[in-house]
Structure 1
Amino acid sequence: MSEEDPQLDEEVQRVLDAIDTLSATDVPAAERARRLSQLLDEWPSAHSRVRAARQAAMQEMQDGGMSLRKISAETGISFGRVREIIAGVTKREKPKGAPAEQEPS
C-alpha cells in the first residue's frame, strides 16, 4: 500500500487505499487480475459520476453567491478550470481534426 498523503481528505484516502488493496500481492494473481478488471470495467461510469458530482458542487457554490475566483481559492483549482467545470467542459484537449500548431518560422 502507498503511504498516506497528509493533504488528502480522509474519504479520498480510503478510496485510494481500497484501490491499493485490490493490488495486494498476498492475493492470488488470478483473483487480483479479476478484481482489477472489474474495477477498470466500472471506472468510466464511476469517473463520470465523480465528475458530475464535482460540477454540481461547484454550481451549488456559484448559485450560493460565490464568485468563480472564490470557488477557485476554496477548491485549489484554477479559475479557468473552475469556469470550464461549471460550464460542463470535460475535455481540455483540442478537438479531433483540428490543425496541428505550427512552430513560428
Structure 2
Amino acid sequence: MADDAADKAPDEEVQRVLDSIDGLGADGSAEDRALRLTHLLDQWPDTHAKVRAARQQAVKELHDDGMSYRKIAMLLGVSFGRVRQIIDGESAGQAKRKKAEAGDE
C-alpha cells in the first residue's frame, strides 16, 4: 500500500519546488548558497506547518465527501491509522511519542 504512492513521480508543481530547493544548494558561490539555505531553514518550521495544515484540510475534505480512511490511505500510500492521525492534526512525531509513552506505562 505505502509503496504505491511512493513509486509515483511527484506532479509537476511538486517537482518544481523540489528542483528549486536543489538549486538553492547547487548554484552560486559557497557564501550565496550558505545564505540562501540558512534563510530556507529559518523559514522551514512555518512552511512545514502550512503544508501540514493544507494536507490536513484536503484529507478532511476527502473524508467529509465520503471517501473511507482505507481509500485515503491507499491514495496517499500511508496506513489507515496515519490517515486518522492526519485528520486529527497529529504529527508522526507526536504519534511516536504517544506510542512510546504508552509502552512505558
Decide: shared fold, TM above 0.5: yes
> What residue is the counterpart of 2:13 in the other structure?
11
- Hey, what's the Cα distance between the residues in 2 that align with 1:93 and 1:70? 23
Bigger Cα Rg: 1
Relative to the length of structure 1, the TM-score reads 0.80
Q: Percent identity?
A: 54
Matched, 1:94 2:97: yes
> What residue is the counterpart of 2:66 in the other structure?
65
Relative to the length of structure 2, the TM-score reads 0.80
* Runs of 4+ residues deviating >3 angstroms: 97-101
Change (3 A) 1:66 1:23: same
Question: Size of the alignment, in residue pairs?
Answer: 95
Which structure has the highest helix share of the two?
Answer: 2
Q: Unpaired segments of 5 or more residues in structure 1? A: none
Choose between structure 1 and 2 for higher RCO, CA contacts under 8 A separated by at least 6 residues: 2
- Root-mean-square deviation (CA), in Å? 2.2
Q: Give, in angstroms, the shift of residue 12 of structure 1.
A: 1.1
